């Protein structure tokens, strides 16, 4: 196959590069997507090493009332100040990165896993299966995803796990619709027909031939939806329905700082900045990935 | 046209059934006892039991749902546990607030994003284009509740020029409308930009240029009109979602609207009110999507209304 490709490329006068090199080059040429990638990588690094960077028991949840509401820079031990219970804001922000990214990533993994199965079946089988599955998705779509997640969290009780499930349920419908349309474009390709002619079963065709060819779409969705997941998680925590105290989460920290907005504005400023920067980075990364993996979708 | 509208309304019915059944089921999983919540924790067990019986909470979920559906079909969405008022009355009491906020938010979004979208398209790959696009993405990435708090901090607490909340003071709508509006600019700006880029490559634009029409007039008279058609669709769709109420923004600004009503109802396990609000929201979104499709056909006669679904 590679031989044939090379030949085709040389005849069109292009350099001999693989598809992967081509994608990488296109991605690196876009400044915004590289910035997105770097910032995302920093946040992922901080999230992964949060338990090493800060000590949960002595820094993240340890209350220190005499030193409460210190301003940033007032005490060298607390570079970003302390919150209403005297806990170090910096340590909490770092630990919250772990919570937010883990919730966002897990929620999206669940949603994509279910979305891929539903979308691929609907797109591949078509006809009645398609109609029924898409009608069910329409029902899920009937309530805005945030309100759906809120209902689930309020009814099942707030916890990190409920939060993941709630956010996932809220985005299954959109996910399956995107996978479905990707499958519809791939489905009629010759290699699918060839696989069918060779006697492959439907499952084999879906998992070995169709889904791998929709991977570009799925990767782009992963990046964009994580941004949405983190936003939903922080909104729910802001309303008191997400991550529960004493665990730190950006939305919850922001909500706690509301009462001190006049004298300690940084308590609401920093967590909000974290949410904004991480979401912006994931969105920029997602845009860059979309442009390089699937240039047809370029907006 | 009439046939199309009827078809869309018929398609709405299973969605409403599905949504309400799903919400009913999820809320019934809640361990809390609404009767106990109404009477307070100190209530006599007999009184709680009597109220449970009266509210029909002892029946199986499916029976409760059947009863709710029957009443719903008769235009009765039940009574709120918290206020004791009919759910529909509560909903329509808060609806004008949300509608007003939705309108002004769309206004903010449109006046920001359409000019940026046009300039970005006309000067593609320029600095303005890049800054505009990243700015639009930033608007999408700022959590509404945080932007709202920051605006309150600057304009209400420090500068004292705008009210920090409520809906009665003059100018109260400005800050919440900016908060919601900036969040919607991303999609509208991008849509305007890509639609403009596509339109200026059309033959009739080249013809107009060849005729000697100056480039400003080509953009405003020839390109913009056609480019805005898909943008109008996006705007209508966003408006539909606004009618669900912007929960966090309404809460931050203590704005009397559907979003805050729904969140409070869900939070306090006020089941009739929560389910009623969610059902009404689903209807509002479906109706605005339908109106959007019809508007689309009116603006662009090339589109024919056929079929159902999305």
The answer to whether residue A1 sits within a structural domain is no
A133, A136, A155, best to mutate vs chain B, most B CBs in 10 Å:
A155
The answer to whether residue B83 sits within a structural domain is no
End-of-domain residue from the set B44, B73, B102? B73
Check residue A40 and give its pLDDT: 92
Are B206 and B96 part of one and the same domain? yes
The answer to whether residue A31 sits within a structural domain is no
Are B13 and B94 part of one and the same domain? no
A221 CB within 8 Å of a chain B CB: no
Contact A139 B22 (CB under 8 A): yes
Number of Cβ within a 10 Å radius of residue A184: 15
The answer to whether B272 touches B79, Cβ cutoff 8 Å, is yes
The answer to whether residue B82 sits within a structural domain is no
Its domain, for residue B259, covers 89-309
Contact B30 A156 (CB under 8 A): yes
CA gap B283, A147 in Å, rounded: 14
The answer to whether residue B162 sits within a structural domain is yes
Strands (DSSP E) contained in A92-167 are none
Are B235 and B108 part of one and the same domain? yes
Mean of the pLDDT values across residues A284-297? 76
Domain count, chain B: 2
The answer to whether residue A17 sits within a structural domain is no
On chain B, the residues whose CB falls within 8 A of the CB of A32 are 130, 133-134
Name the residue with higher pLDDT: A101 or B34.
Answer: A101
Residues 185-214 of chain B whose Cβ lies under 8 A from any Cβ of chain A: 190-191, 193-194
On chain B, the residues whose CB falls within 8 A of the CB of A143 are 19, 22-23, 278, 281-282
A206 pLDDT band, cuts 50/70/90, is: confident
Which CATH number goes with the domain that contains A137? Answer: 1.10.3720.10
At B12, is the secondary structure helix, strand, or coil? Answer: helix
A296 CB within 8 Å of a chain B CB: no
The answer to whether residue A278 sits within a structural domain is yes
- Per-residue pLDDT of A140-188, as tens digits, reads 887 888 888 888 888 888 888 888 999 998 889 888 988 888 888 888 8
The answer to whether B255 touches B180, Cβ cutoff 8 Å, is no
Contact A32 B149 (CB under 8 A): no
| Alpha helices for B82-126 (secondary structure H) | 87-122
Its domain, for residue A129, covers 42-297
The answer to whether residue A269 sits within a structural domain is yes
Mean of the pLDDT values across residues B136-147? 87
Chains A & B: contacts with CB separation below 8 Å: 131
Mean of the pLDDT values across residues B204-219? 83
Residues 156-215 of chain A whose Cβ lies under 8 A from any Cβ of chain B: 156-157
In sequence order, which residues have a C-beta less than 8 Å from that of residue B16 and are 6 or more positions away? A142, B279, B282, B283
End-of-domain residue from the set B25, B46, B73? B73
Are B125 and B44 part of one and the same domain? no
B308 pLDDT band, cuts 50/70/90, is: very low
Contact B137 A235 (CB under 8 A): no
Q: Phi-psi region for residue B171, left (φ > 0), alpha (ψ -120 to 50) or beta? A: left
Residue A277 reports pLDDT greater than 90: yes
- Per-residue pLDDT of B234-273, as tens digits, reads 888 788 878 877 888 998 898 898 989 988 888 887 888 8
Looking at the predicted complex, does its ipTM rise above 0.90?
no
Check residue A146 and give its pLDDT: 85
B157 CB within 8 Å of a chain A CB: yes
Contact A261 B18 (CB under 8 A): no
The answer to whether B145 touches B219, Cβ cutoff 8 Å, is no
Q: What is the rounded average pLDDT for all residues in chain B? A: 83
- Report percent pLDDT > 70 for chain A: 92
Are B177 and B258 part of one and the same domain? yes
| Angstroms from B253 CA to nearest CA on chain A | 12
Are B37 and B118 part of one and the same domain? no
The answer to whether residue B199 sits within a structural domain is yes
A4 pLDDT band, cuts 50/70/90, is: very low
The answer to whether residue B78 sits within a structural domain is no
A9 pLDDT band, cuts 50/70/90, is: very low
A21 pLDDT band, cuts 50/70/90, is: confident
Domain count, chain A: 1
Check residue A5 and give its pLDDT: 47
Check residue A295 and give its pLDDT: 59
Q: What is the rounded average pLDDT for all residues in chain A? A: 82
- Per-residue pLDDT of B48-103, as tens digits, reads 888 877 777 777 888 888 888 888 888 888 888 888 888 888 899 999 999 999 99
Are B35 and B122 part of one and the same domain? no
The answer to whether residue A35 sits within a structural domain is no
Check residue B303 and give its pLDDT: 66
Q: Is the dihedral angle over the CA atoms B207, B209, B215, B221 positive or is it negative?
A: negative
End-of-domain residue from the set B12, B47, B73? B73
pTM for this one?
0.84
Mean of the pLDDT values across residues A74-97? 80
| Angstroms from A3 CA to nearest CA on chain B | 37
Tokens 């709405």 label which residue? Answer: B12
Closest chain B CA to residue A260: B153
The answer to whether residue A34 sits within a structural domain is no
The answer to whether residue B81 sits within a structural domain is no
Taking Cα atoms as reference points, which of A178, A179, A205, A202 lies closest to residue A191? A205
Are B131 and B255 part of one and the same domain? yes
Are B41 and B103 part of one and the same domain? no
The answer to whether residue B38 sits within a structural domain is yes
Check residue B284 and give its pLDDT: 83
A2 pLDDT band, cuts 50/70/90, is: very low
Are B184 and B254 part of one and the same domain? yes
| Angstroms from A56 CA to nearest CA on chain B | 26
Check residue A11 and give its pLDDT: 47
A151, A168, A275, A278, best to mutate vs chain B, most B CBs in 10 Å:
A151
Check residue A178 and give its pLDDT: 86
Question: For residue A228, which phi and psi values (nearest 5 degrees)?
Answer: -65, -40
Contact A239 B194 (CB under 8 A): no
């Amino acid at each position: 196959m590679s031989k044939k490709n090379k030949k085709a490329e040389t005849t069109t006068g292009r350099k001999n590069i693989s598809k992967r090199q081509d994608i990488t080059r296109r991605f690196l040429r876009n400044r915004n997507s590289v910035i997105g990638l770097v910032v995302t990588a920093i946040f992922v690094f901080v999230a992964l090493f949060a338990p090493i960077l800060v000590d949960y028991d002595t820094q993240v949840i340890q209350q220190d009332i005499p030193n409460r509401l210190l301003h940033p820079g007032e005490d060298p031990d607390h570079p970003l100040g302390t919150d209403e219970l005297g806990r170090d804001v910096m340590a909490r922000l770092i630990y919250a990165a772990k919570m937010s990214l883990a919730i966002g990533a897990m929620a999206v993994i669940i949603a994509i896993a279910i979305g891929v199965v539903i979308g691929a079946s609907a797109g591949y089988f078509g006809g009645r299966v398609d109609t029924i599955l898409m009608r069910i998705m329409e029902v899920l779509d009937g309530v805005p995803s945030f309100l759906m997640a809120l209902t689930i969290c309020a009814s099942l009780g707030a916890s990190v796990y409920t939060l993941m499930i709630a956010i996932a349920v809220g985005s299954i419908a959109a996910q399956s619709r995107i996978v479905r349309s990707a499958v519809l474009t791939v489905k009629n390709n010759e290699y699918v027909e060839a696989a069918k002619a060779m006697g492959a079963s439907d499952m084999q065709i879906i998992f070995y031939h169709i889904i791998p060819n929709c991977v570009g779409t799925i990767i782009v969705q992963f990046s964009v939806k994580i941004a949405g997941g983190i936003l939903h998680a922080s909104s729910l925590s802001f309303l008191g329905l997400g991550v529960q105290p004493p665990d730190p989460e950006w939305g919850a920290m922001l909500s706690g700082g509301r009462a001190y907005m006049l004298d300690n504005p940084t308590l609401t400023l920093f967590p909000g900045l974290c949410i904004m920067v991480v979401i912006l980075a994931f969105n920029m990364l997602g845009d860059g990935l979309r442009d390089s993996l699937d240039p047809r979708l370029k907006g | 046209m009439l046939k199309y509208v009827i078809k869309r309304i018929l398609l709405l019915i299973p969605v409403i059934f599905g949504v309400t059944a799903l919400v009913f089921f999820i809320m019934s999983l809640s361990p809390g006892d609404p009767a106990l919540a109404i009477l307070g924790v100190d209530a006599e067990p007999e009184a709680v039991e009597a109220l449970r019986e009266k509210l029909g909470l002892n029946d199986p979920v499916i029976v409760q749902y059947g009863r709710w559906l029957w009443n719903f079909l008769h235009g009765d969405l039940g009574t709120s546990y918290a206020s004791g008022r009919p759910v529909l009355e509560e909903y329509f009491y808060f609806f004008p607030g949300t509608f007003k906020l939705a309108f002004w938010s769309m206004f903010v979004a449109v006046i920001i994003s359409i000019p940026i979208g046009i300039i970005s398209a006309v000067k593609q790959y320029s600095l303005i284009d890049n800054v505009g696009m990243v700015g639009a993405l930033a608007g999408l990435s700022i959590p509404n509740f945080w932007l709202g708090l920051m605006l309150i901090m600057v304009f209400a607490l420090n500068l004292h020029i705008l009210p920090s909340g409520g809906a009665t003071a003059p100018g109260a709508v400005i800050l919440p409308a900016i908060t919601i509006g900036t969040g919607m600019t991303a999609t509208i700006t991008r849509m305007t930009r890509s639609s403009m880029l596509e339109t200026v490559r059309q033959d009739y634009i080249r013809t107009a240029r060849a005729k000697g029409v100056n480039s400003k007039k080509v953009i405003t008279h020839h390109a913009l009109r056609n480019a805005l058609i898909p943008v109008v669709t996006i705007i209508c769709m966003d408006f539909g979602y606004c009618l669900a109420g912007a929960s966090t923004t309404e809460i931050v600004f203590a704005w009397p609207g559907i979003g805050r009503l729904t969140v409070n109802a869900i939070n306090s396990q006020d089941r009739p009110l929560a389910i009623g609000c969610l059902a009404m929201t689903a209807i509002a979104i479906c109706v605005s999507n339908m109106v959007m499709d019809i508007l689309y056909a009116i603006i662009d006669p090339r589109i024919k209304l056929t079929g159902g679904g999305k």
